[in-house]
């Protein structure tokens, strides 16, 4: 391989001069035309930070002086200038920029003309270090698509991706792992694409499919499933910090599930990612914005809202704009903009001023609630609402008057919780609390009568969904820098703008949120495609090609396979930003299809499996553990979308919250819907989700932790919801398998793990079932309770309980909650 240092030596050996073709004599401006192009293409190696081959090109004087091999230019003679020869691809010269794309013909022409005109530049030019820094970091430069490398074991390769992976493995002297068996493959694919395990029929169909394209057809079928949008939509909701409550101290419920539905539908329809981004950032501002596009702006309405008494609303509005700026940075740019809120970023070229220029784009929205109903219905609702409001205020005033007239003795008879409720404003009380107060004053006919009227009005209230959206203000707010991020200390005013280190903003007269959205999806953006494909990759392998998936800045980890990352990023754009195209590409690759078994020699050479000589075993995400148990037990309700659900949860969850939450446990089909629909209270999340590392719905989450704790064991063993799954699975085994212990155990394994048990596993479980049968027959009361048997059920309770016990074992296996 040619070293760049050789270039100058080679250049001295002789050069062929390209004849100067007649050209317009328009003078070239060094500052405006030459310096920017040199900065972009050359400064990374030949600027203020690095001077490869002793050469720097960041001032005209330095260019004339040259490096280890002499002057880089001969003023007036481009053909004899090393710089020109290198960029124009003269023979025997290492082409520059080194290992990066060639300059455009226009740029090459500019350089030639500048050199031929004598390399004129302003006197006393000073080094602009910032310019070098800007172009010194890989992630700020556009991705470069290089052909996949040559490899030896080409029969292993299934997609271009595999060549990149294999090249590194071969260089490290490692062989990839064999392809996983078919059962593992379909289970892996089903979890990864749908978040659900395959049914035993799906497994056997695939295992017995002799067609050479059986795998690819399976992939296509799964990508077309409406559950795909649930699985990948939920991961996006992590990024969007989705929750069903406002957060902070009051943590009142909110309605924004229409946004969740939008996300699911967008993934299912494979909405091109550029539109996916634009509609969420600024769907309301698109020409003739549709209802769906306005719903999409719920993305930035997932910020918490503080409803505590006595607060300064502006403070928390500004906090939510900070959150929007920073989430935009994390989600679409992989940049840690937060650092620049209080001061210039310490490591990345982002100034505090630039932070607030981004802030200025997002500082001009109102935050309305969108009614999803006809205008008539809305008007009727509004009228009723104001009637109720008047009555409730009247009622409240009545309570307070009454209270103030009471003697201490009388007052002391009122429960403290009622007093506490009355200390809240009417709008801060939930229905339960209002009811409790009426109850406390139920001897007063005036109270009861008013409550009855309110109740009547409420019954007449038309019901329709609403959702939270953004709406741009006609008159923008002024944005000023907040000194040290403190909202009370304002500095100079700034106009909307983007960090200079990135591609320029399209020039429009009045840049607004839509301009920012369009800027994000500009193909010139070096980050968006990389950050996105990296997150997709991370989901399939546990870690991204860039391990710091939320930091592509200078403090982040460099990519393990930079060429692969760039290839995928450019492919993503080339495929019209189709996410499904990237999914298909990755899951059909040989690297994805490998077995995940640990190999001792890899443990030595690549302990963190960064080279991917095997797949990784991954514990399922929180929601998927519920989903897998629902499917295995046969309880799963596959309805997609709609309002959130309230499956059983343990007693006592709200003993640690300020306000008691409502949790009316779902009894109908909603009880058995997927984990992603479980109502998410920010101050007290559903325990079975929280314990398995579901994100908190407060911060933009781009990667979940995978912890492994005793509280998880307690959940799977003892939680009411999981017991119900075990009971249903136990009954299913009795119902669906042949009347034979071994058959039932085999069915349990196929339902839960996709595979048949080994002889040893089967023996161990046969022993367990016999043990339990005997024991439960001796303790029939316990058997009836544990099996959840109703009185009318005439089945042998001991037998049922034994199978429920067995189901409970299988649902607790590490393998059950793991994607192999």
Partner 1 sequence: MHRKAEALLLETRRHFFGRCAVGLGGLALAGLLDRQLFADPKPASPLAPKPTHHPARAKRVIYLFMAGGPSQLELFDYKPKLHEYNGQPIPDSFLKGKRFAFMDSFTKEPPKLLAPKRKFARHGQSGAWVSDLFPHLGGIVDDLCIVTTVATNVFNHAPAKVFMNTGSAQFGRPSFGAWLTYGIGSEAEDLPGFVVLQSGPRGPRGGSACWSSGFLPTAYQGVPFRTTGQPLLNLANPPGVRPQCQAQTLDAIRELNLRRLAETGDPEIATRIASYEMAFRMQTSAPELIDLSSETRETLELYGAEPGKVSFANNCLLARRLVERGVRFVQLYHTNWDHHGGPGEDLEHSLPAVAREVDRPCAALITDLKRRGLLEDTLVIWGGEFGRTPMGENRETTGRNHHIDAFTMWFAGGGIKGGQTVGQTDEFGFAPVEDRIHVHDLHATLLHLLGLDHKRLTFRFQGRDFRLTDVHGEVVRKLLA
Q: Which of residues 566-605 bind partner 1 (CB under 8 A)?
A: 596-600, 603
Residue 179 sits at φ, ψ, to 5 deg, of: -65, 145
| Least distance in angstroms from the C-beta of 432 to partner 1 | 14
Interface residue with partner 1, options 36, 309, 491, 576 (CB under 8 A): 309
Q: Is 663 in the site for partner 1 (CB under 8 A)?
A: no
- Token pair of 670 as six digits: 């909603």
Q: Which is nearer to partner 1, 53 or 797 (CB)?
A: 797
Residue placing its CB nearer to partner 1 in the complex, 108 or 237: 237
> Does 723 engage in binding with partner 1 (CB under 8 A)?
yes
Residue 351: both structure tokens together: 């100034």
User: Per DSSP, what are the bridge partners of residue 482?
Assistant: 490
Q: Name residues contacting partner 1, limited to 315-344 (CB under 8 A).
A: 319, 330, 336, 338-339
Should residue 303 be labelled a site residue for partner 1 when binding is judged by CB under 8 A?
no
Cis peptide before 675 (omega within 30 of 0): no
291 binds partner 1 (CB under 8 A): no
d(CA 449, CA 713): 52
* 70 vs 687 by CB, closer to partner 1: 687
Applying CB under 8 A, which of residues 19, 173, 310, 445 lies at the interface with partner 1?
A: 310
Query: What's the per-residue H, E or C state across 329-388?
Result: HHHHHCCCHHHHCCCCCCCCCCCHHHHHHHHHHCCCEECCEEECCCHHHHHHHHHHHHHH
Q: Is 131 in the site for partner 1 (CB under 8 A)?
A: no
What x-and-dash track marks residues 521-560 binding partner 1 by CB under 8 A?
---------------------------x-xx-x-xx----
Q: From CA 393, how far away is CA 128, in angstroms rounded?
A: 65
Tokens of 450: 């008013």
Task: Tell me how far, at minimum, the Cβ of 470 lies from partner 1, in Å.
Answer: 21
Measured over the CA atoms of residue 138, residue 143, residue 144 and residue 147, the dihedral's sign is: positive
Structure letter (DSSP) for residue 241: T
- Here's the x/- map for partner 1, 247-266, by CB under 8 A: it reads as xxxxx---------------
The per-residue DSSP string of 542-558 comes to: SS-SSSSTT--STTSPP
What binding mask, one character per residue, do residues 213-252 give for partner 1 by CB under 8 A, x or -? ----------------------------------xxxxx-
Is 577 or 681 the residue whose CB approaches partner 1 more closely? 681
Q: Tell me which of 43, 236, 276, 786 binds partner 1, using CB under 8 A.
A: 786
**Cα–Cα distances in Å, from 818 out to 250, 617, 730?**
37, 7, 21
Binding mask 433-462 for partner 1 (x = CB under 8 A): ------------------------------
The residue within the footprint of partner 1, chosen from 83, 263, 278, 783 (CB under 8 A), is: 783
Give exposure, 492-501, as e/b (b: 16+ Cβ within 10 Å): eebebbbbeb
Site residue total, partner 1 (CB under 8 A): 107
Among 787, 799, 803, 819, the residue binding partner 1 under the rule CB under 8 A is 787
Nearer to partner 1, 283 or 485 (CB): 485
Q: Rule CB under 8 A: is residue 403 a binding residue for partner 1?
A: yes
807 binds partner 1 (CB under 8 A): no
How far apart (Å, rounded) are the C-alpha atoms in residues 434 and 450? 12
Check binding of 425 to partner 1 (CB under 8 A).
Answer: no
Closest separation between CB of residue 319 and partner 1, Å? Answer: 8
Read out DSSP for 443-509? T-HHHHHHHHHHHHHHHT-----EEE--EE-SSPPPEEEEGGG-TT-EEEEE-S---TTSPPPP--S
Among the candidate windows 147-155, 263-271, 503-511, 773-781, which touches partner 1 by CB under 8 A? 773-781
The rounded distance, in Å, linking the Cα atoms of 405 and 414 is 13
Per-residue x/- marks for partner 1, 605-624, CB under 8 A? --x---------x-x-----
Q: Is 662 in the site for partner 1 (CB under 8 A)?
A: no
Residue 475 CA to its chain's centroid (Å): 32
Which sign, positive or negative, has the C-alpha torsion 63, 554, 545, 607?
positive
Contacts of 271 (CB under 8 A, 6+ apart): 279
By beta-carbon proximity to partner 1, the closer residue of 31 and 763 is 763
Shortest Cβ 338–partner 1 spacing (Å) = 7
Q: Which of residues 693-712 bind partner 1 (CB under 8 A)?
A: 693, 696, 698-699, 705-712
Instruction: Give yes or no for residue 738 binding partner 1 (CB under 8 A).
Output: no
Q: Which is nearer to partner 1, 385 or 415 (CB)?
A: 415
CB neighbours of 478 closer than 8 A, spacing ≥ 6? 493
Give Cα separations from 357 to 329, 481, 484, 550 (angstroms): 13, 9, 15, 21
**Interaction pattern, residues 480-499, with partner 1; x per rule: CB under 8 A:** --------x-----------
């Amino acid at each position: 391989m040619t070293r760049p240092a050789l270039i100058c030596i080679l250049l001295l050996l002789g050069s062929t001069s390209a004849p100067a073709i007649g050209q317009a004599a328009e003078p070239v401006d060094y500052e405006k035309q030459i310096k920017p192009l040199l900065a972009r293409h050359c400064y990374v190696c030949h600027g203020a930070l690095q001077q490869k081959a002793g050469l720097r090109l960041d001032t005209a004087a330095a260019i004339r002086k040259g490096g280890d091999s002499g002057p880089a230019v001969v003023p007036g003679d481009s053909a004899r200038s090393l710089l020109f020869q290198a960029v124009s691809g003269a023979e025997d010269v290492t082409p520059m920029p080194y290992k990066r794309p060639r300059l455009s013909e226009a740029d090459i022409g500019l350089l030639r003309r500048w050199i031929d005109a004598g390399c004129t530049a302003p006197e006393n030019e000073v080094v602009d270090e910032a310019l070098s820094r800007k172009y010194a970091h890989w992630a700020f430069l556009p991705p470069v698509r290089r052909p996949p490398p040559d490899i030896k074991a080409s029969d292993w390769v299934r997609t271009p991706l595999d060549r990149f992976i294999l090249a590194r493995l071969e260089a490290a002297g490692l062989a990839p792992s064999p392809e996983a068996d078919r059962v593992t493959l379909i289970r892996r694919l089903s979890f990864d694409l749908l978040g659900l395990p395959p049914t035993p029929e799906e497994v056997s169909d695939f295992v017995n499919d002799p067609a050479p394209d059986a795998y690819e057809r399976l992939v296509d079928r799964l990508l077309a499933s409406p559950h795909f949008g649930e699985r990948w939509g939920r991961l996006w909701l992590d990024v969007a910090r989705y929750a069903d409550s406002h957060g902070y101290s009051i943590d009142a419920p909110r309605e924004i599930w229409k946004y969740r539905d939008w996300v699911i539908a967008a993934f299912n329809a494979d909405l091109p990612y550029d539109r996916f981004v634009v509609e969420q950032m600024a769907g309301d501002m698109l020409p003739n914005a549709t209802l769906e596009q306005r719903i999409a702006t719920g993305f930035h309405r997932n910020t918490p809202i503080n409803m505590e008494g006595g607060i300064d609303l502006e403070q928390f509005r500004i906090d939510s704009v900070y959150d929007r700026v920073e989430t935009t940075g994390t989600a679409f740019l992989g940049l840690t903009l937060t650092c620049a809120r209080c001061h210039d970023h310490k490591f990345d070229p982002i100034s505090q001023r630039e932070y607030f220029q981004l802030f200025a784009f997002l500082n001009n929205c109102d935050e309305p609630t969108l009614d999803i109903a006809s205008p008539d219905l809305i008007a009727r609702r509004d009228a009723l609402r104001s009637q109720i409001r008047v009555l409730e205020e009247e009622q409240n005033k009545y309570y307070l008057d009454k209270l103030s007239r009471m003697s201490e003795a009388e007052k002391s008879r009122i429960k403290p919780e009622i007093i506490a409720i009355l200390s809240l404003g009417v709008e801060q009380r939930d229905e339960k609390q209002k009811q409790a107060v009426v109850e406390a004053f139920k001897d007063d006919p005036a109270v009861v009568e008013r409550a009855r009227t309110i109740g009547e009005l409420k019954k007449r209230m038309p019901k329709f969904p609403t959702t939270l959206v953004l709406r741009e203000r006609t008159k923008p707010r002024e944005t000023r820098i907040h000194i040290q991020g403190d909202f009370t200390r304002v500095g100079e005013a700034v106009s909307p703008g983007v960090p200079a280190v990135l591609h320029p903003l399209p020039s429009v007269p009045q840049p607004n949120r839509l301009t920012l959205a369009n800027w994000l999806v500009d193909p010139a953006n070096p980050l968006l495609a990389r950050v996105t494909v990296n997150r997709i990759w991370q989901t399939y392998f546990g870690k991204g090609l860039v391990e710091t998936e939320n930091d592509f800045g200078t403090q982040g980890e460099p990519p393990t396979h930079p060429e692969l990352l760039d290839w995928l990023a450019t492919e993503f754009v080339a495929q019209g930003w189709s996410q499904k195209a990237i999914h298909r590409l990755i899951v059909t690759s040989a690297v994805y299809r490998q077995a995940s078994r640990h190999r001792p020699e890899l443990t030595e050479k690549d302990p963190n499996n960064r080279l991917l000589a095997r797949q990784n075993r991954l514990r399922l995400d929180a929601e998927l553990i519920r989903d897998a148990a629902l499917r295995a037990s046969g309880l799963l309700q596959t309805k997609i979308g709609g309002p959130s659900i309230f499956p059983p949860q343990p007693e006592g969850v709200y003993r640690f919250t300020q306000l008691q939450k409502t949790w009316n446990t779902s009894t109908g089909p909603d009880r058995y819907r997927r984990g992603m629909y479980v109502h998410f209270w920010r101050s007290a999340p559903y325990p079975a989700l929280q314990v398995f590392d579901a994100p908190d719905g407060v911060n933009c989450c781009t990667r979940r932790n995978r912890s492994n704790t005793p509280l998880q064991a307690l959940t799977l063993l003892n939680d009411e919801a999981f017991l119900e799954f075990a009971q249903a699975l136990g009954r299913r085994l009795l119902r669906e398998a042949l009347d034979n212990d071994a058959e039932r155990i085999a069915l349990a394994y196929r339902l839960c793990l996709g595979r048949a048990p080994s002889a040893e596993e089967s023996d161990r479980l046969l022993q367990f079932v016999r043990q339990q049968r005997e024991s439960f027959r001796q303790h029939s009361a316990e058997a009836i309770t544990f099996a959840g048997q109703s009185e009318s059920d005439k089945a042998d309770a001991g037998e049922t309980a034994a199978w429920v016990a067995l189901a409970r074992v299988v649902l607790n296996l590490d393998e059950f909650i793991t994607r192999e």
